[in-house]
Amino acid sequence: MAKDKKKKIQRPKALPPKGFRDYFGAEVVERNDMLREITAVYHRYGFDPLESSAVETVEALGKFLPDVDRPNEGVFAWQDEDDSWMALRYDLTAPLARVYAQNRNDLPSPYRRFAMGPVWRNEKPGPGRYRQFYQCDADTVGTASMAADAEICAMLSDTLEAVGIPRGDYIIRVNNRKVLNGVLEVAGLSGDDKEAERGIVLRAIDKLDRLGLDGVRALLGEGRKDASGDFTKGAGLSDEQADVVMGFMSAKRDTGAETCARLSELVQGSDIGAKGVAELEEIASLLDAQGYGSDRIDIDPSVVRGLGYYTGPVYEAELTFEILDEKGRKRQFGSVAGGGRYDDLVKRFTGQEVPATGVSIGVDRLLAALREKGRINSTAKGPVVVTVMDRDRMSDYQAMVAELRNAGIRAEVYLGNPKNFGNQLKYADIRESPVAVIEGGDEKDRGVVQIKDLALGARLAAEIETSEEWKAQPAQKEIARTDLVAEVKAMIARAAE
């Protein structure tokens, strides 16, 4: 009788889920450094931190996901054992509405908060487009004053400059949903029966930077066929209706005052439109009083923002410098942050209107922009590595590490197999260590150690096999054991310079 063949073990594939990725040391450090700079500006403006749950009830999150018409589509959701539905948060604003509604009696009014962390969207992934990404938000809840919106725009400007985007390389564009609603009213697109058409119009305007005026015009009409042959159905507007919307998109003038004057002409007969123009004029006046000119923050009717919960002013930070795309073509970097006023979001929980406004920074996008500009501090090094020449003297090496750490120096003892000294140096090279410490038996007897500046010796590290060869390199020096901390600090400082 044939022996039963052993069943082959099906091992899991060591791959992340589709649309997700892992972040390693330098990337995490860069992100954390940038978040510290961002939140320092938020803190200076009087905002307090808030950490809310990454999981919310589907009911609390609502149906405001960008470009999605049906509730709950685009979120990662599951049914709990009590049959309730929960989901990973898709942004940091919807959870804030729930937190404020729940704790409003104990929070100051207005309530200023900032938050940062990952959000999740169950959307089709693509190159550079992931289902998990970081956001950093700041919001003011509980005031209808346009001063809150002007403050958010000013803070966003200060934040971009604080992290390394110089003035002239960005513009914060400001619009008002009320103005757009007024234009739609004038175009005959108000009322519940026109909701579908309005949604298509909003999405078309939001694609102006990608499709241009002709592409948007096509989406306002019968539709548009792209280069691949795919057809996108349009809003079906008449030529007269489309003319009104296109007039709104081309209303930008040289100054904010001239732009507002043109918008007033377009919304004549619409009370909501006139109110929106007045709010834009007030924001422009407040920013001008603080010294934020149109070179930093500008009134621009082309800004729509994708989220359906915006009710008034909306803003978007765009980086204006050029980069090369994957095909070597020049293009502007584009948007890295956006936000606006959402006076109805808390009302879902309380039944009472609670005015609110805020901004969200796309952390990964902003990091990518800083890399393009060469503004990321990539000089951060790994720990000082204390090599092991004699495994029986591990306590001596641990004592060195303790001294370095107590002095605020990042340090570690090599914990691999110490038999091959060259491997220890290769390890230090991989770790991007600034300094290696070497103490053999001879050095121990003489009360000295060898320290090596690895920034100078990295090129040769892979070729060195013995400690004698390593000592012969000019970047290495012998010092008194008692001077270890002071000399290592000095060597790290020189490398940083």
pLDDT at 63: 63
Cα–Cα distance list, 431 to 205, 350, 398 (Å): 48, 53, 19
Same-domain check for residues 257 and 146 = yes
Element (H, E) at 158: helix 146-163
Query: Both 404 and 318 in a single domain?
Result: no
Q: How far is CA 277 from the centre of its chain?
A: 30
- C-alpha closest to that of 471 among 450, 495, 487: 450
The domain tally of the chain equals 2
Identify whether 428 is part of a domain: yes
- Residue 202: inside a domain: no
**What CATH number did the domain enclosing 168 receive?**
3.30.930.10
**CA distances to 152, 257, 315, 425 from 283, in Å:** 11, 11, 11, 59
Q: Are residues 405 and 280 located together in one domain of the fold? A: no
Specify the residue for token string 């029966």. Answer: 193
440 phi and psi angles, rounded to 5 deg: -90, -175
254 and 317 together in one domain: yes
Query: 483 and 392 in one domain?
Result: yes
Residue 288 and residue 390 in one domain = no
Same domain, residue pair 388 and 342: no
Per-residue tokens: 216: 């948007």
The answer to whether 314 and 174 are in contact (CB under 8 A) is: yes
Does 8 map to a domain? no
Residue 423 backbone phi and psi in degrees, to 5: -65, -35
Q: Are residues 250 and 350 in the same domain?
A: yes
Question: Per DSSP, which regions of 328-388 are E strands?
Answer: 330-341, 356-362, 384-386
> Does 418 lie in the same domain as 339?
no
| Residue where a domain terminates, one of 323, 345, 372 | 372
Contact present, 449 and 487 (Cβ < 8 Å): no
Question: Which residue range(s) make up the domain with 154?
Answer: 25-189+237-372
Residue 211 lies in a domain: no
Is residue 205 a part of any domain in this protein? no
Question: Which residues are within 8 A (CB) of 300 and not within 5 positions of it... i.e. 6 or more apart?
Answer: 173, 174, 175, 252, 259
Residues 422 and 489 in one domain: yes
Extract the tokens encoding 372: 């393009």
**Same domain for 312 and 284:** yes
At residue 69, the pLDDT reads 46
Per-residue tokens: 332: 């502007």
Q: What is the pLDDT of residue 150?
A: 97
Q: What is the pLDDT along the chain (497 residues), one digit of tens a residue?
A: 555 566 788 889 999 999 999 999 888 999 999 999 999 999 999 999 999 999 999 888 876 555 444 445 688 888 888 888 899 999 999 999 999 999 999 999 999 999 999 999 988 888 778 899 999 999 999 999 999 999 999 999 999 999 999 999 999 999 999 998 898 899 888 888 888 888 888 788 777 777 888 888 888 888 888 878 788 888 888 888 888 888 888 888 988 889 999 999 999 999 999 999 999 999 999 999 999 999 999 999 888 776 567 899 999 999 998 776 666 677 778 889 999 999 988 998 999 989 999 999 999 999 988 888 777 765 557 899 999 999 899 999 999 999 999 999 999 999 999 989 999 999 998 998 999 999 999 999 999 999 999 876 555 545 666 666 655 556 789 999 999 999 999 998 887 77
Of 342, 372, 402, the residue that ends a domain is 372
Tokens linked to 457: 């010796």
Q: Which token pair is 308?
A: 């359906």
Question: Helices 195-206 and 208-220 meet at what angle, rounded to 10?
Answer: 150
The CA distance from 170 to 317, in Å, is 7
> Is residue 378 assigned to a domain?
no
> Do strands 356-362 and 313-324 pair parallel, antiparallel, or not at all (unpaired)?
unpaired
CATH value at residue 410: 3.40.50.800
Q: Which of these three, 315, 340, 372, is where a domain ends?
A: 372
What are the DSSP E strand ranges found in 59-209?
77-79, 85-88, 111-120, 132-141, 170-176
My answer on whether 318 and 425 are in the same domain is no
Provide the b/e sequence for 213-243 (b: ≥16 CB within 10 Å): eebbbbbbbeebeeeeeeebebbebeeebbe
Bridge partner residues of 132 (DSSP): 120
CA–CA separation, 274 vs 265, rounded Å? 9
Residue with token string 């150690």? 449
Domain-embedded: residue 59 = yes
Assigned domain for 438 exists: yes
* Residue 284 identity: A
